[in-house]
Amino acid sequence: MMNTYINRVIGWSSLCALSLFCVLSFVSCDALDEAPDNRTEIDSPEKIRKLLTSGYPTSVPALICELSGDNLVDNNVVVPATHNVANSPFHDQAYNWENIDNYSTSEQDTPYKVWEAFYQGIAVANHAIEAMRMMNSNPAKDRELSHSWGEAHIMRAYFHFVLVNVFAEAYKDETQSANDAGIPYVCDVETTVSVDYSNPKYRKSVAEVYRLIEQDILEGIDLIDDSKYEVPAYHFNRNAANAFAARFYLFKRDYDNCVKHATAALGANPASSLRKWASMNSNTINTLLNAYNDHTAPCNYLIQATFSVQDRMLSACRYAINSGSLSEKVPNTNDVLYEGGGPNWDGRLKAFDGKIFRWGAGSEYGSWLFRVYEYFEYIDKIAGIGFVHILYQPFTAEETLLCRAEAEVYLGRSADAIRDLGYWTASKMVDKELTQDGINFWYNPNNSTKKDYISDVHPMEMSSEWKWSTLTEDEKRIIQCILHFRRIETMFEGLRWFDIKRYGITVHHAYRSPVEDEIHHDYLEWNDPRRVLQIPQNVVNAGYPSNNRTQMLGNNAGGYATKPVLRENELKENDDNE
């Protein structure tokens, strides 16, 4: 089933899409001598729908965001006797918050691939929008075109949303964000080879990008018609569009609209749409993975197929979820994410029983949840080469529920927030009721045993317009609970990095290179410019100004991934069989 989806979404090819790959000269074209070949005519609703299918990116920033955040630790620090080497040199740069430039353009999960894939998706949306305008002066009112008009605008909004949150400052407020450099918001089809991206038409502030995102959301969200999709979970269906709107308005701190759109996605009974962990009891990793990625599961609002080696990054045993180091004050992220308990459960979350895999006889090289395991698409089974895929869920019922809970706290509706958080713990097979007392105990900043579960937030430094100062101590601890639950829910997806940026959370990294014994410590504070990833050098070469960091593309050799021999046998059996 999953291979069918991967072939359908990634392997699907259309002459309509061929003219899009070099549309934006700052995306990926290293040698563009003439204008793109646009001979294919997009002249029917069906062609537009197929064109939009080709626009969903096959890269995500999950790996670089996870390395930048606080979920992964350096095993060379946790296990001093080890001298592990990273899966790729750019992984070290991401973990050390350096300029990420030590990679080839053929490598996956790099800033280059993310920028390229998401702007290609934007180019697809723009071509579709232009084609619809050619077919009807008011596509939003056309019965055959209105749905695609809505999907194209939601796609364009979301792709820019990801890019601005990776390559720019977090949204602070309308005033401050007007002075923060954003990313190009591209609304037109590019027909020229060389574009002056220093032009104000392209250089947008973070505030301007957010205004344009909202404009696209409002243009498209009410037009989405799920009946037009053969498999809604592979597209921006109504639930996915509303979940995106809820996240956008949460980041913008428009809490009323966040609740409105989250509720539209979740429906009257959120518990019914959450993941059914109790039914996922197989000890076969592929069976678990297929169940998790089931396109019919109501929790999976949107499924995105990617070329990604995040699983291999974890299996390289350099950076992983691990037990930390008391001597070096490195947090035990293994406990924080799934083993150490929470405000209404003890020890490991029951939902994760039998689903955690470990590296090394004593788990000394870390652990990972089955969900990040790869699908391998062979192009030559004899040679053992092909493409590595990981399926991500950019929007789920669980994360949308947590968006709503956070908004409810700021709206003075703590009881509603705790109710929603209770839905979340119940879906993870927690039997005990979640209460304010339990939250207060677990997220007590004066309890040294709970410090790893509490984020060092700086919202008021981020913006004086935050309502943080008006929250009671009980409400602040509910927010800490939400941040903890979001960290668990979105591990391996990179969304914790977005929370780190928007809340100004301090991050501590300890690291030791494979060729030395000295351990280094670094702290990323709320106002550290290293929170902004530098845009790829080819973008700068095309004329778009760099930010306050410098970066050059590396020259590492690339090529096909090679399937490891006995990949399954390298894994320690899952925790039920330990």
Closest by alpha carbon to 420, among 410, 411, 408? 408
DSSP H or E segment with residue 358: strand 356-358
Partners of 205 in the beta sheet? Answer: 181
Calculate helix-pair angle for 206-220, 146-167, nearest 10 degrees: 160
* Pair 210, 236: CB distance under 8 Å: no
* Pair 502, 523: CB distance under 8 Å: no
Note down pLDDT in tens along the chain; length 578 residues: 555 555 544 443 333 333 343 344 344 433 223 334 444 688 899 999 999 999 999 999 999 999 999 999 999 999 988 899 999 999 999 999 998 988 988 899 999 999 999 999 999 999 999 999 999 999 999 999 999 999 999 999 999 999 999 999 999 999 999 999 999 999 988 777 677 776 777 789 999 999 999 999 999 999 999 999 999 999 999 999 999 999 999 999 999 999 999 999 999 999 999 999 999 987 789 999 999 999 999 999 999 999 999 998 888 889 999 999 999 999 999 999 999 999 999 999 999 999 998 877 667 888 889 999 999 888 888 888 888 899 999 999 999 999 999 999 999 999 999 999 999 999 999 999 999 999 999 999 999 899 999 999 999 999 999 999 999 999 999 999 999 999 999 999 999 999 999 999 999 999 999 999 999 999 999 999 999 998 887 777 777 788 765 322 222 222 333 333 323 333 443 444 33
Burial (CB count within 10 angstroms: exposed 0-12, middle 13-18, buried 19+), residue 518: exposed
Residue 3, SS3 per DSSP: helix
Please list, in sequence order, all residues whose beta carbon lies within 8 angstroms of the beta carbon of residue 47, skipping any fewer than 6 positions away.
Answer: 16, 131
Q: Where are the domains of the chain?
A: 2-536+556-566
* Pair 1, 305: CB distance under 8 Å: no
Interatomic CA distance for residues 287 and 568, integer angstroms:
14
* Pair 403, 255: CB distance under 8 Å: no
Both structure tokens of 363? 């788990």
The CB-based long-range contact list for 514-520 (8 Å cut-off, 24+ gap) reads 514/76, 514/83, 514/84, 514/85, 515/83, 519/77, 519/328
Amino acid in the structure at residue 116: E
Interatomic CA distance for residues 111 and 101, integer angstroms:
9
Q: For residue 566, is it left (φ>0), alpha (ψ between -120 and 50) or beta?
A: left
Interatomic CA distance for residues 235 and 304, integer angstroms:
9
Q: How many other CB atoms are there within 10 angstroms of residue 90's CB atom?
A: 26
Interatomic CA distance for residues 537 and 518, integer angstroms:
32
pTM: 0.90
DSSP H or E segment with residue 95: helix 89-95
Q: What dotted CATH number matches 2-536+556-566?
A: 1.25.40.390
Closest by alpha carbon to 510, among 25, 102, 76? 76
Partners of 562 in the beta sheet? Answer: 385
Alpha helices in 455-494 (DSSP H): 459-462, 473-489
Both structure tokens of 486? 């979001």
Q: How many CA atoms lie within 13 A of 89 on its CB side?
A: 12
